[in-house]
Structure 1
C-alpha cells in the first residue's frame, strides 16, 4: 500500500493515452514541394532520359560541362540586390545652376496663407495691318422677340390697338344695366351667420368709493390665526450627512 501523504507514486508511461512521438511529422527539407520554410532550399536538378540519336537531328541540349548557377531555380532567379563600384564620371562642364545667394525666400509668402492674385502690365502687342477676319461686333443675331423667328419657339404675342367706340363690345346697344347696378345678397341669409361684434365707446373710469387694499398690501406669511406664531427662519451651519442624529426617545427593552 502506498501513502499519498508521505510518498508519491512514479508516473507510468503505459497509462498515458496520448499519441506517441511517432505520430508527429515535420515538413521535409528535400525538394520544393511542402518544403520547411524555416530552412534554406538548395538548388534542385532533374535528370531527363537520353534522346534518340538520329542522323538528321543534332543534340542541342547542354551537357554536364555547363555549370548552372545556384541562384537559378525552376521558380525563377533567387538573388538579392547586387551593386558595383565604378569610378566617378567626369562632369560634362561647369554647372550653370544658380547658387544659394540667387534665391530670395523672404519674398515668397508662406504656403499656408492666402494672397490675392497678382498681375503684371506688359507692352501692347503690335496689331496686324491686314486682317480679313471681321470683328465681333460685325455679327448680328436675329431678334428673339415676336413670332417670326424660324429657328426658335416663340411665346404667344399680342397687339394693342386703339379704342373704337362704335361696333365694339363697349358700345351698349341694348342699354342693359351694368354689373354695378345689381345688389348682392348678404351671405348670412343663405349661409350660417358668422359672429358679429360692435364697437362702443370707452366706459367711464369708476369712481373710488371703497378703499380696498391691493394685492401688495397683503402679507400671508404674517397671518397667525390658525397657528401659534408666524413662521420664522434662520441661516445656520451646514451639517454633515454622516453625523449620527440625536435620539432622545430610547425604547426600553
Structure 2
C-alpha cells in the first residue's frame, strides 16, 4: 500500500483539455427556403393546398334571388314549340275596291325555264301528224312475209336446236318383253279357303219387311213384359204380401208369470 501511494504521489497530473473551437456556423446561419405557403416554397418538399380567408365585407353586394329564369330554358338549350303569327292583310292597289293581285299557281311555267346548275330535264316528245296513205308504194303487212321455219335442220344459215322423235314401242328387246313366257298370277285357279281352313260366318241381307198400314197391328209398350224374361239374366228377388190381421184378435200368451 505504501508503494502504491508513493507511486501516485510522484505521477504528474494530466494536462487540461483544449478549449472548444467555435469556427463553424450555427444552425441559425443557414437560410433554407420555407415549407409553409407557396411563395419561395422548398421545391424538394411536397406542398399542401393553401387557403386564404376573405376579410369581412361591410356591405352585401349580392343581388339575392331576384333572377327569373324562364321555364323553357333548360341545360340543353331553349325547349319550346314553334310559334306562328298571323300576317296582316296586304295593301290595296290603286283603287280601294281592287285588292293586291297575287298571281296564282297557273301563272307560272316552270317547264319552260332553261336548265340551270346542271339540272336534268325530262324527255319531251311530240306527236306528229298522220302520214298520207300511199297507194302506189304500199307497205306489205306483217303476215305477207314468209319466213323459213326454224324448227329442224331445214335452214342452212340458222343455228337449230336438237330435235327428237318418239318411235313406237318395240316388242323385241323392250322391258315389257316376257322372255320366260311364264303365266301370270291370274292364270291359276285359287281354292276356296273355307275348304282347308275354319269356315268364317256368312251373312245374307234380307229384304225390307213391309210395315202394316193399320195402327192396331203394331203392339204398344205395355204389350211387352221384360221383367218376366230371365233366361240368360239373373232372376231378381221376388216378395209376397201376407194377409192383413184384425186389430181385435187376442194375442197368444205363452209365458205367464205367477
TM-score range relative to shorter protein: under 0.3
Q: TM-score, normalised by structure 2?
A: 0.23
**Larger relative CO (CA 8 A, sep 6+): 1 or 2?**
1
Q: TM-score, normalised by structure 1?
A: 0.23
